[in-house]
Chain A
Amino acid sequence: MREARPVLRRLIQGVGFFFVLTFISFLIVQLAPGDAALSMLKVDTVAVTEAEINALRDQLGLNDPVWQRYGRFLAGVVHGDFGTSVMTGKPVMTELTKAFPSTLLLATVTMATVVVLTFVLGGVAARRPHTLADKAVGLFCMVGAALPTFWLGLLLIDLFAVRLHLLPSSGLATSAGLILPTVALAVAIAPPYIKILRGSLIEASGREFVRAARARGVHEWVIFVKHTLRDSLIPLVTILGVSLGSLLGGTVIVEITFGIPGVGKLAVEALARRDYGVVQAFIIIVGMAVFVINMLVDLSYRILDPAIALKGAERR
């Protein structure tokens, strides 16, 4: 019961968030400048009359009252129906499912790289603070965080694809095509993680309970793995949840820079073409994905820190 309650509360929150999200995405498109009917007709460069526009508006249901349109929209969303893409004429869902694997692949491989980078560099820097190795890691973090992702991407393409012909410049046709986007993205995302792990490792190693374990004669490596590292994971998990936005945002930029046919590229193209169905689906799917991951992060606190699980205390 004690275990189930927070999960249940989160699920209820999730349903609420879903309504907020669908309503926002519905509303944004309603209020946005530009007319879907107009832009559909404008595809042919022939002049259109007012009557033609109105006929299409009726046909698309754009003249119905707001709540009716929202209800219709919501019903569609629940059934996974976001309408038809203006760009391609195919169902939005089909377009998204086609684009989704590339984005997922890029995001997963990048996150794995970031985790490895974090533990290796963060660990090295915390081991001996203020030494050359620590300062080198610090410099990497500063440079990595300040480099515009797309610029780094372009430079990498120029060097490795155009000049050296070592790696493909765009697309994910081969697995080698994943290397440059992953590097560009990981370099931008890893610095805050590295800095935080370094800081929390140093802080944890100074904790009174670490000294108490040392005074009991526990082996140094046991102290490091079991006590120090464990204590450092909580701040890391905190930032994992909140930094999801930069991972997703970075993915969009990288997909465009490297011409990867992922969800981000699809969304940006849809925005440029005012293909609202795709934009709405994108908002809802990304929003819910972020929510689910944050929920998992929240629940993982309960595993990481028994005090939260037992006292029912909330981290805020």
Chain B
Amino acid sequence: MTTRRLPWGVFAVLAVLGLLMLGPVLAPHSPEAVDLSQRLHGPSAQHWLGTDNLGRDLLSRVLTGAQITVGLSLLALALSILIGVPLGLLSGWIGGRFDWAVMRVVDTFIALPDYIVAIILSGLLGPGFVNMLIAILVVKWVGYTRLTRSLVMQEKHRDYLMISTLAGGSTGRVLRQHMVPHIVGPTLALATMDIGKVILLVASLSFIGMGVQPPSPEWGAMLNDGRAYFAQAPQLMIIPGLAIFVVVALASWLGDQLMRRHTISADDERIAHVLA
């Protein structure tokens, strides 16, 4: 129901995510300023969260990394929606052979496990921001096509469209007035749910050395870096991991709320493959 008010927590989560985008502005130091005299220090007044093996300020790196990890995820999702939704809309509405062809492509992409595809793609394309974006896009667009298509298929045969057909409304009008309102909510809910998934994917790829590379302060890459210094400076392991955990948990919670508003349940077959 669109009239029901959003819980305040939703705004709080959005505020936190927005704030993270400002990470670099808030960082007290340069994330890449090496100071070998300050290696592996614990938290201090100057370095609130301590320093890493090259004496770089951990707080600044985590804050800057937010823009990479979260920013990359949001950008990848936005592009996935931009590709997936119109394709699903057309596929569902036009139907016939066009739909058949689109669905065969979709089926093939769905049959390939997303993590594996992303790992192989980023491995083949080589590390880097853009290549990672491509890898995520390839595994994510398909979910939005499928969701949109099934929403359209579900609405397409509803009685009220008969009234529209009789009234002689143009296809553009019907899509705009009747289909789009049914697509926006569920798509946004799913995308929010997906933020956490994509962040985990980005971090995992970087952690195994397939994603964004050091010295870039991507959270997964930082964890890979810090792994060797676990005993001396546990904060190098704990802080970036905690950052991932908190952001993912917040995004999933927000997604959960939105899904509930749009009465999509997680076992909905339309989206099961996206969430599992």
- A adjacent to B, CB under 8 Å: yes
- A residues near B (Cβ < 8 Å) are 17, 20, 28-29, 32-34, 142-143, 145-151, 154-155, 158, 162, 192, 195-196, 199-200, 235-236, 238-239, 242-246, 248-250, 252-253, 256, 267-268, 271-272, 279, 282-283, 286-287, 290-291, 294, 315-316
Contacts of B265 in A (CB 8 A): 199
Contacts of A272 in B (CB 8 A): 123, 209
Convert B241-276 into 0s and 1s, putting 1 for each residue whose CB lies closer than 8 angstroms to a CB of A: 100111011001100000000000111010011011
Query: When the two chains form the complex, which single residue of B208, B209, B273 contacts A252, counting CB atoms closer than 8 Å?
Result: B208
Listed by A's residue number, 6 A-B pairs whose Cβ atoms lie within 8 Å are A146-B252, A199-B267, A245-B273, A249-B114, A249-B115, A271-B123
Would you give the shortest CB distance from B145 to chain A, in whole angstroms? 15
Q: How far is the CA of A250 from the CA of B46 in the complex (A)?
A: 38
Would you give the shortest CB distance from B208 to chain A, in whole angstroms? 5
Which chain A residue shows the least CB distance to B115? A249
Which chain B residue shows the least CB distance to A232? B267
- B residues near A (Cβ < 8 Å) are 108, 110-116, 118-120, 123-126, 196, 200, 203-204, 207-210, 220, 223, 227, 230-231, 234, 237, 241, 244-246, 248-249, 252-253, 265-267, 269, 272-273, 275-276
Known: A17-B108, A28-B124, A272-B123. Contact between A253 and B208, CB under 8 A? yes
Instruction: Using A150-B207, A150-B208 as known contacts, list a sample of 4 further A-B pairs with CB atoms less than 8 Å apart, ordered by residue number in A.
Output: A148-B203, A196-B267, A252-B119, A271-B124
Known: A246-B113, A291-B111. Contact between A151 and B241, CB under 8 A? yes
Q: How far is the CA of A272 from the CA of B244 in the complex (A)?
A: 25
Query: When the two chains form the complex, which single residue of B115, B119, B241 contacts A246, counting CB atoms closer than 8 Å?
Result: B115
Contacts of B231 in A (CB 8 A): 162
Which chain A residue shows the least CB distance to B271? A242
Which chain A residue shows the least CB distance to B131? A33
CB <8 Å contact, A271 and B119: yes
Would you give the shortest CB distance from A177 to chain B, in whole angstroms? 19
Would you give the shortest CB distance from B54 to chain A, in whole angstroms? 20
Would you give the shortest CB distance from A176 to chain B, in whole angstroms? 21
CB <8 Å contact, A192 and B123: no
Q: How far is the CA of A246 from the CA of B116 in the complex (A)?
A: 9
Known: A20-B108, A283-B120. Contact between A196 and B115, CB under 8 A? no
CB <8 Å contact, A142 and B252: yes
Would you give the shortest CB distance from A226 to chain B, in whole angstroms? 21
Q: How far is the CA of A315 from the CA of B269 in the complex (A)?
A: 9
Which chain A residue shows the least CB distance to B209? A272
Contacts of B275 in A (CB 8 A): 192
Could you say which of B108, B196, B207 has the most chain A C-beta atoms within 10 Å of its C-beta? B207
Contacts of B204 in A (CB 8 A): 148-150, 249, 253
Q: How far is the CA of A246 from the CA of B197 in the complex (A)?
A: 10
Q: How far is the CA of A267 from the CA of B207 in the complex (A)?
A: 15
